[in-house]
Chain A
Amino acid sequence: MPTYRHCRTFTIASMLVTAVILAAGCARLPVSGALPVGVAVARVTKVEAASPFAWDPGGTKIALVSGSFAIHDPDADNSLPLGAVPSAVAWSPDGDHLAAAFPHDKDATLRIFNTRGALLSEADISGHVTKLAWRSEDELLVAAVTIDQLSFGADIKGVLYRWKGIGKPAATTLTETTVRPFIARWPLETLYHTFTFALSPLGDEIVYTRLQDPPAFSPYVKICIRNLGSGAEQEAAIAAVTSAGAVYSADGERILYGDGANASHWLDPWMGKELATFPTPGRTIALSPGNRYALIDGRLYRDGKEMVSFPATSEGAFAPAGGRLLLRYGGNLYMISGLSEPETDKKVPAGSERLLTLRKWRSEGLISVPDYQSARERMPLQ
């Protein structure tokens, strides 16, 4: 169980390094180790610190915040401004729509734009949005955190909204915790960070973080898997509150999560089996589409081996089409290109409807994990 002290030490150290580099006014991305042949780093543009950014599925446009929220074309080096600063952004799977969450007071407005910047739809929700993900072309998933300060602490609620782009988003509370006063006084960003999720590549499950604050122990998060079809949940792991949570493997069968203190772990959550570890706590995690590359706390791994490292506080996003990585560090956005990935790494079984059914049944215990595995193995790959 990672301790709060570990997390705090790591965070302070990272902040000191960051402060030194920022003080130097450096616009060049610090790199430790030699970049492999064919891999290049280039600065894309200036961005707001801690602001969201996202590749479009084709890997040609980037939603980012540079002064204002905009769709940026790195090849043409031009931007289409969209207005206020969002807390989260996400492109639809076909790249035709861009969703963004704009905070106001304790709440947020969800907006959907087309690629020309026209506003197509909007809806108000309660809470601060920490994550957006499109489940399909028609359904947006939203993680929002509400914090009610109380005389004896605070009530922190994590709500998952499902929005079809019209009408009122449907809300499901996934986590609600009353925390002690000293936790209630943490910075808001830290409290918001306790609830986030990742969507499985098949769009049927999420893996999310659930804050726990047991008396006499350090607070921590549970990493839980929820099948969106059945609503059935299972706890997969626990981690420090500084964990980035988890992301899914390309086939949706494994998760990579950071314990927030010591290491990051590849886990088969259904068998409860740890498959591999990385010696870094996993406070920021990004995976390439075929899983060959992983960026964890600024360290870039290829096939499980560290290639090169960037500052630990840098955050990254791989292009959905593969080959490139966006990395935000120190108020700048960088692109790392030349990250080739074999197509075979992205294969999943054909007949996704059948696979989704099997996964739903597994989540509800209607079939056992060996039943599922055996049925899945009989399905051809696409």
Chain B
Amino acid sequence: MKILIARLTLFAITTLSLSHQAAAEDCIPCHREKTPAAVRQWETSAHARAKIGCEKCHGSNHDKIVKGEAKVDMKVCGPCHQKALREHKASRHGMGLHSGWGCTRNLTNRDPGECRFCHEEGSSAPLSGVQCARFLKQTSEMGEIGCNYCHNVESSCASCHTNHNTSLAIVRDPNSCAKCHMGPDHPQWEMWQTSLHGTLNATAGISTGPTCQTCHMQQGSHNVSVGITMSSGGVPYPSKQAEPARKEMLQVCGQCHAPEFARKELARGDAVRSQSLAIVKEAEKIIWDLYDHGLLDPMPDQRPDHPLSGKKLVTDNQMLYEDTSHIERLLFKMKKYDYARTIKGAYHQNPAYTHWYGNAELKMDLVDIKAEASRLRERGKTPAAGKAGNGSASEEETLRALKSKVERGAMSEEEYAAEKKKVLERLK
């Protein structure tokens, strides 16, 4: 009997001692065994200290949780973290899924023609299953790890904060950003690491060397897009939008640097950006000209359909790196990798990324594209050699090219009419 009383007393003491942590949770005893890491992280989190238990975020329907249907996304975090949610939604992170596979209407400086990716003309109802072209080309497994693991930043706070740990030390470390902001397309993490900012951070500490968060998440703001003057594809914003953003960034830089120094640094980045964009546009023009003359190999109508645009040539943000022609694949690398590295390298004050990994590659891409274009044009002449004297065939090709240009807005109706008139006069 004494032993039984002693055991009951011990149980009562243990239960009471845990109650301040578990807040009457039934989950902990079992999950300490099943998911010990999650429990350990929660126990040391701000949530535990504030008595925010499992059910508050996960709900109480265990079946749903097990099936993965009770996701803890920003709708769950938002009601308590309203300021953070507001800032996040106003930022490019808040459009992560949109830019990946959702509606782009709220993105700045977007081509209205992009609406066709998701909507029938004139309809606001989304087409079922229409998403990002590159995402749609993936297997589901590849899409999950290769696309969604970064683009789910829109709706998942855990994308940066991790699941159960609320330590700010984690999200204030540039390694948190590196998961996505690295690699060939936008290596901001590497650029920062090997820039003077990164070197000072590594050697003299954060008081001297700023991190990603220092400049892009001032005072813990979740709006990572403050001070940015271009779209995610590197297209400069119109001045009405760019000028206030530039003021914001100058304010950020001004916390350490003289205003004139900061202004010149950013202005130099602008110049590099416009020069680099001109190189990309030159290459893009070459490819459209080849397309107009039916010289891409293969042409869009001779290869698997583009998931969103079918048999049309696509060189905008939805362009693909697979099921395309070699010269388009060169343009893809040029735009997505080398142009991005040049301009982001310039704004992150990284000489090697701006020049060797960026601008030099960009210029060599143009050399490759021109050479490939010459080859395609030369080859295009060969089968047509027999019809060298056939004026109408070449005039027809000219007309097709003109029509294609006017249809995509690269030529005005007036210019088109004038050029067409010349063709008709030449026709013998």
Contacts and interface: CB of A to CB of B under 8 A. Distances in A.
Interface string B35-64: 000000000000000000000000000000
A357 B427 CA distance: 9
Contacts of B428: 354
A120 interface: no
B142 interface: no
B164 to A, nearest CB: 60
B86 interface: no
B424 A375 contact: yes
A365 B403 contact: yes
Interface string B385-407: 00000001001100110010000
Contacts of B336: none
A354 B423 CA distance: 12
B53 to A, nearest CB: 61
A361 interface: yes
A366 B403 contact: yes
Contacts of B399: 361, 366-367
Contact of B420 (A353, A360, A367): A367
B392 A357 contact: yes
B402 to A, nearest CB: 8
Interface in A342-379: 353-354, 357-358, 360-361, 365-367, 371, 374-375
Nearest to B425: A375
A358 B391 CA distance: 13
A365 B399 CA distance: 10
Contacts of B396: 357, 360-361, 366
Interface string B129-140: 000000000000
A371 B420 contact: yes
A375 B400 CA distance: 18
A367 B392 contact: no
B427 A358 contact: yes
Contacts of B403: 365-366
A367 B424 contact: yes
Nearest to A368: B420
Interface residues of B, number: 10
Nearest to A354: B427
Nearest to A356: B392
A220 B395 CA distance: 40
A375 B424 CA distance: 7
Contacts of B420: 367, 371
A354 B428 CA distance: 6
Nearest to A358: B427
* A353, A360, A365, A366 — most chain B CB neighbours (10 Å): A366
A357 B423 CA distance: 12
Contacts of B427: 354, 357-358, 375
A164 B396 CA distance: 26
Contacts of B392: 353-354, 357
A365 B424 CA distance: 14
Contacts of A353: 392
Nearest to B428: A354
Interface in B217-271: none
B375 to A, nearest CB: 28
B424 A366 contact: no
A185 B403 CA distance: 48
A361 B403 CA distance: 11
Contacts of A360: 396
B401 to A, nearest CB: 10
A354 B424 CA distance: 10
B366 to A, nearest CB: 32
Given A353-B392, A357-B392, A371 B400 contact: no
Nearest to A365: B403
Contacts of B424: 367, 371, 374-375
Interface in A231-271: none
Nearest to B395: A357
A202 to B, nearest CB: 15
B284 to A, nearest CB: 24
A247 to B, nearest CB: 28
Nearest to A374: B424
A353 B396 CA distance: 13
A207 B400 CA distance: 25
Contacts of A366: 396, 399-400, 403
Interface of B: 392, 395-396, 399-400, 403, 420, 424, 427-428
8 contacts: A354-B427, A354-B428, A357-B392, A357-B396, A361-B399, A365-B403, A366-B399, A367-B420
Nearest first, the 8 closest Cβ-Cβ pairs linking A and B are: A366-B399, A357-B392, A375-B424, A366-B403, A354-B427, A361-B399, A371-B424, A367-B420
Given A365-B403, A366-B399, A367-B399, 20 more contacts: A353-B392, A354-B392, A354-B427, A354-B428, A357-B392, A357-B395, A357-B396, A357-B427, A358-B427, A360-B396, A361-B396, A361-B399, A366-B396, A366-B400, A366-B403, A367-B420, A367-B424, A371-B424, A374-B424, A375-B427
